[in-house]
Structure 1
Amino acid sequence: MSVSAPAALAMPSVGACENCGAALAGRFCHECGQAAEPPSSTVAGVLRALAADLTSVDSRVARSVIRLLVRPGELTAEYLAGRRVRYAQPLQLYLGAATAFFFVNAYRPFVTFDPATRRVVSSLNAAGVSGDMGASVLDQLTARGISLPVFQERFEAAVAGYLPVFLVGSVLLFGLVVAGFHRRARRGYLAHAVFALHWSAFYLLLMIADRLLPDQKPGRGPWGAVLAAIALAYLAIALRRVHAESWLRTVPKAIGLFLVYQMLLTVWMISAIAVAFTLLL
């Protein structure tokens, strides 16, 4: 049966993606993901598209943060199962938490120097170090004409500058430790790195809450113990949800990983103090 010319003209033709040239078979290109429809030529259309994009991003981030906080390990499990479109990427989520951590650290530093007592104090929940400035160091500052308030400002700035190195290094190292604790799982490092990103994002948010509470000494007293218990319980639930092991196997691993993470924090604080003093003296 022949097709008339008007009917043939009415049949939809297969278009090509304007970005990569691949044949289109739907609303989005299967090669690069660009929308098949061209951008709107009106201001109203551009604003509608922008609002839709922002709403989509905001909803993914909000959904991810809620899951991160109330469903330990679920984001990692969803990512490893291939269900990734509905959530923010692990690195994106971690960088967001790290950025918020930076802002809070600028407001209330996690490593401080008190000019009145000449004492360095640092605390991140269960991990904490402290020490006094020796007389020899004070003599060096005096000889160079540097007052203690000026040293405090420079010291805390130097520690803050070292913070990004720690944030990156801690995730990489913790991912390796998680992989070592789960050698039998036979998963690649990426799976353990995703878990480390999600866990670290949660822990940073927990430390932000610790630091923002009024009239509290972060990491000290009953509140510090409560935070440590929350973090340990979260880690255990997350491990069990991702690796599906028994509680008998999960709890010791969670305790071991929590202690290792606290050791990483302690090493960072000691090294940050050492680097700051080396740069300033």
Structure 2
Amino acid sequence: MPLVHGGPFIPLSHITMDTHLLPTRVHVPALHTAPEACANCEAPRMGEYCHACGQHFLDGRLTIRRLVRDFVVRKLGLEGGLLRTIVDLTIRPGRMIQDYVSGRRQRYTNPVAYLLLAAGAYVVLSKAWQDAMVAGLRAENVGWEGDQGEAFVQVQLFTDAHPALMTLVLCLFLAPPLRLLFRRSTVAEAAVFSLYVSGHLLLLQLAISVGALLLGKDVYQAITGRLMGVLTIGMLFAAGRFYGTRFSSFLKFGLALSCAMIGLFVLMLFAVLVVSAANAPAVPGT
């Protein structure tokens, strides 16, 4: 038998193969289909939320439940825990606000949304003691006489009916002096502090009013007798945790709060004078 390259030569006709060992069908893996696109920005869908625009992916048609949930959760900034925000602002307000400013925002409710929710709850529940507030304001009259006394009552009722507006005005008066006195903070950080603390103190005022109502007490006396003490203690407690517990920090915050309260008082005094002038009867012959 001839050798080919050092080995025996075997004709091809003598070579047999077991055909059943050969695969009869080659499996080709199917190609992945294109990912679903975001309906809002057409970016590829990756996860539960769009990585490009942040829209929540929801399967199926739009429903009333989804419409309400989208407004409450997204538009009001309630992606974070509202209950956690309330608890942390009660027991450790400065640390909680510092966490939010430092970037841990997902776990907490947005400060503007928190203020609006507190104001909304106050407006709804305050209807139960509005008559008591009117009677208390007219009885005291705080030294005002005639048209000015009635104007004072009207201004007070307006502020009580629009807590969000008045709280925002207080924040506008409080944030600038905080920024000037505490140079390490920005205007935005001072505004976050003012919004959170003001909104939470509004909830505390609401709790005092509801408690007095349930106990059969005079709501007006409960608010006027305890509100300023609660506001002052709450503000100082939050400021000590946020700006520091040194005496100089408390002194600076007290100065900023005094400036804000003076500005608010001057604004309300101006409003009383304007309302009094508007309510004054016209002089004959003028």
TM-score (norm 2): 0.66
**In 1: Cα distance, 2:65 partner to 2:224 partner:** 50
Per-residue deviation, 1:73: 2.0
- Structure 1 CA distance, aligned partners of 2:68 and 2:27? 41
Q: In the aligned structure 2, how far is the partner of 1:82 from the partner of 1:40?
A: 34
- 1:66 corresponds to 2:64: no
Q: 2:22 corresponds to which residue? A: none
Which residue matches 1:253?
252
CA displacement 1:94-142 (0-9 Å, x = unmatched): 111222333455533797477976x53xxxxxxxxx22324xx49xxxx
Are 1:231 and 2:231 counterparts? yes
The one-letter amino acid of 1:99's match is: G
Superposed CA deviations along residues 142-164 of structure 1, whole A, max 9, x for unmatched, are xxxxxx8xx99967665667766
CA–CA distance in 2 between the matches of 1:115 and 1:233?
25
Shift of 1:242: 2.7
Residue 92 of structure 1 is matched in structure 2 by 113
Greater RCO, 1 or 2 (C-alpha within 8 Å, sep 6+):
1
Among 203, 214, 218, the residue aligned to 1:215: 218
Gaps of 5+ in 2: 1-25, 281-286
| 1:108 partner SS | helix
Q: 1:133 aligns with which of 142, 145, 148?
A: 145
The answer to whether the 8 A contact 1:113-1:156 is kept is: no
Q: Structure 1 residues 58, 235: closer, same or farther in 2, change over 3 A?
A: same
Deviation at 1:274, TM superposition (A): 2.5
The alpha carbon displacement at 1:233 in A equals: 3.8
How far apart are residue 197 of structure 1 and its match?
0.4
- TM-score (norm. length: structure 1): 0.67
CA distance in 1, matches of 2:138, 2:248: 49
Residues 1:272 and 1:162: Cα distance change in structure 2 (over 3 Å):
farther
Shift of 1:91: 0.2
Alignment of 1:42-81 (within 5 A): 57=78, 60-81=81-102
The change in CA–CA distance for 1:249 and 1:209 in structure 2 (over 3 A counts) is same
Equivalent residues in 2 for 1:102-251 (5 A)?
A: 102-103=123-124, 106=127, 107-108=129-130, 112=134, 120=141, 130-134=142-146, 137=147, 165-183=165-183, 185=184, 187-212=185-210, 213=212, 214-215=217-218, 217-218=221-222, 220-221=224-225, 223=226, 228=229, 230-243=230-243, 245-251=244-250
User: Separation in 2 of the partners of 1:154 and 1:259?
Assistant: 25
Aligned residue pairs total 244
Mapped to 2, the partners of 1:110 and 1:172 lie a distance apart of: 30
Give the secondary-structure state (helix, strand or coil) at the position aligned to 1:73: helix
Of 21, 33, 38, the residue aligned with 2:54 is 33
1:279 partnered with 2:278: yes
Does structure 2 retain, via aligned residues, the 8 Å contact 1:28–1:34?
yes
Quote the Cα distance in structure 1 between the aligned partners of 2:195 and 2:50: 30
Amino acid of the structure 1 residue aligned with 2:206: I
> Structure 1 or 2: larger strand share?
1
Tell me which structure has the larger Cα radius of gyration.
Answer: 2
- Cα 1:203/1:261, change in 2 over 3 Å: farther
| Contact 1:175–1:189, Cα closer than 8 Å, also in 2 | yes
Task: Give the superposition deviation at 1:210.
Answer: 3.7
Report the CA distance shift for 1:261/1:112 in structure 2 as closer, same or farther (over 3 A): farther
Q: Any gaps of 5 or more consecutive residues in structure 1?
A: 121-129, 139-147
Cα-Cα RMSD: 4.1
The question of whether the paired residues in 2 share the 8 Å contact of 1:72 and 1:235 is answered with: no
In structure 2, the CA distance between the partners of 1:89 and 1:238, relative to structure 1 (3 Å rule), is same
- Give 1:270's aligned residue: 269
Residue 144 of structure 1 is matched in structure 2 by: none
**Residue 30 of structure 2 aligns with which residue?**
8
Amino acid at match of 1:252: L
- Equivalent residue number for residue 10 of structure 2: none
Q: Secondary structure at the match of 2:52?
A: coil
Distance change in 2, residues 1:238/1:64 (3 Å): same
1:157-179 deviations in whole A, cap 9, x for unaligned? 65667766533322122111211
